[in-house]
C-alpha cells in the first residue's frame, strides 16, 4: 500500500467552550475559539490494495456506483432521483431498512466557493449532537422508536469533477484513535445548535484515503451509530506535491439518517 505525506488541521484541547458559528452576520463558518494546528501526517492509499476495509467492522466502505445524475445544479431538479439512488445504495451495501436523506452539500475547492472542503479533522456528530439531530429530523415521538432500535447517521461522498486530484477526503482508522483524542465543538446556527467532535493530534493515528476517485467512486462512512459501530474522523487532505491541479476538487456529500432491522 503506497504511503504519501499530507497536511491536515487538528484541533487543540481547551478548557474554553469551542464553537463554529454559521450564517451569522453574513459569515459562513466563523471559528469561535477553536484553535487549529497544521500537521503533516502519513497517509496510505487504499486504491488497488484489495483492502479488507468493510462497513460492518470499520464503519466505512468504498464502492463503485455510477449515477444517472451528472449535473448537480443549484435548482435541485436532480435531488429526487439522486436521493432514490442513495436509498437503494445503502439498502444494498449496509442493509439499511429505512434511509432518510436530509442534507446535500456540494463542495468546490476554490476561494470563491460558498462551501469549500472541510480542512479540520472532525466527526460530524457527538452522541448528544446525533440524538438532538434525530429529534430535529423526525420529532420526539418517532425518535424514541429509532433510539429503541438500531440507527445511525451515515454519509455518502462522491466526486462530481471527472477525477479528484487534490484535497481528497481522508480518514483515520478507528482502531488507531484514543478516547482522549476527541473533543466537543458546538455548531451554532441562527435557528438551532448542534455538536460535532473535533480531533486532537496523536502520532498513533493511521490515515488512509482512495486516490483518483472518479464520479462513479463512492465512499460510505459512519458518523454516528447507537449500537457502537465505529465512526470515522475525517478531513480533506492537502497531499504534499499535489497542489498544482488544473481543475479544483468538486464533490457532493449526502447526509442520511439510517434505521436498521
Q: pLDDT of 166-175, one tens digit each?
A: 899 999 999 9
- Please list, residue by residue across 67-78, b when 16 or more beta carbons sit within 10 angstroms of its beta carbon and e when fewer do: bebeebeeeeeb
On the question of pLDDT at 193 being above 90, the answer is no
Q: Residue 166's closest CA among 236, 107, 235?
A: 236
Q: Is 65 exposed, middle or buried (0-12, 13-18, 19+ CB in 10 A)?
A: middle
Residues 6+ apart with CB under 8 A from 75: none
- What ranges in 127-239 are assigned the alpha helix state H? 127-148
pLDDT at 14: 83
pLDDT at 123: 95
Instruction: Centre a 10 Å sphere on the Cβ of residue 151 and count the other Cβ atoms it contains.
Output: 26
Domain locations along the chain: 3-48+57-70+77-260
- What ranges in the chain are assigned the alpha helix state H? 55-58, 79-94, 127-148
pLDDT in tens, 238-253: 998 876 666 788 999 9
Global pTM? 0.92
Instruction: Centre a 10 Å sphere on the Cβ of residue 103 and count the other Cβ atoms it contains.
Output: 13
pLDDT mean over 111-119? 82
* Confidence grade of residue 13 (pLDDT, cut at 50, 70, 90): confident
User: Lowest-confidence range among 79-93, 95-109, 186-200?
Assistant: 186-200
- What ranges in 95-234 are assigned the alpha helix state H? 127-148
* Confidence grade of residue 145 (pLDDT, cut at 50, 70, 90): very high
DSSP 145: H
pLDDT mean over 12-17? 83
pLDDT in tens, 40-54: 999 999 886 657 789
pLDDT at 187: 82
* Confidence grade of residue 15 (pLDDT, cut at 50, 70, 90): confident
Looking at 189-249, which runs of residues are DSSP E strands?
Answer: 193-199, 207-209, 217-225, 234-236, 238-239
Amino acid at each position: 500500500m503506497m504511503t504519501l505525506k499530507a497536511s491536515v488541521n487538528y484541533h487543540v484541547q481547551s478548557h474554553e467552550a469551542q464553537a463554529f458559528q454559521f450564517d451569522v452576520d453574513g459569515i459562513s463558518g466563523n471559528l469561535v475559539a477553536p484553535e487549529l494546528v497544521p500537521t503533516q501526517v502519513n497517509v496510505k492509499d487504499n486504491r488497488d490494495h484489495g483492502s479488507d476495509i468493510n462497513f460492518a467492522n470499520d464503519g466505512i466502505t468504498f464502492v463503485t456506483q455510477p449515477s444517472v445524475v451528472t449535473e448537480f445544479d443549484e435548482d435541485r431538479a436532480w435531488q429526487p432521483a439522486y436521493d432514490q439512488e442513495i436509498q437503494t445504495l445503502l439498502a444494498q451495501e449496509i442493509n439499511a431498512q429505512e434511509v432518510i436523506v436530509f442534507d446535500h452539500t456540494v463542495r468546490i475547492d476554490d476561494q470563491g466557493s460558498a462551501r469549500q472542503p472541510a480542512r479540520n479533522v472532525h466527526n460530524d456528530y457527538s452522541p448528544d449532537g446525533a440524538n438532538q439531530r434525530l429529534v430535529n429530523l423526525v420529532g420526539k415521538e418517532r425518535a424514541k422508536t429509532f433510539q429503541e432500535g438500531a440507527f445511525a447517521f451515515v454519509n455518502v461522498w462522491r466526486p462530481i469533477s471527472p477525477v479528484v486530484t487534490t484535497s481528497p477526503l481522508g480518514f483515520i482508522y478507528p482502531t488507531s484513535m484514543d478516547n482522549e483524542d476527541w473533543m466537543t465543538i458546538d455548531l451554532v446556527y441562527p435557528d438551532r445548535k448542534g455538536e460535532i467532535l473535533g480531533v486532537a493530534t496523536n502520532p498513533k493515528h493511521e490515515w488512509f484515503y482512495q486516490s483518483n476517485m472518479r464520479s462513479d467512486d463512492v465512499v460510505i462512512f459512519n458518523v454516528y451509530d447507537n449500537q457502537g459501530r465505529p465512526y470515522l474522523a475525517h478531513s480533506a487532505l492537502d497531499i504534499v506535491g499535489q497542489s498544482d491541479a488544473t481543475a479544483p476538487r468538486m464533490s457532493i456529500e449526502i447526509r442520511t439518517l439510517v434505521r436498521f432491522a
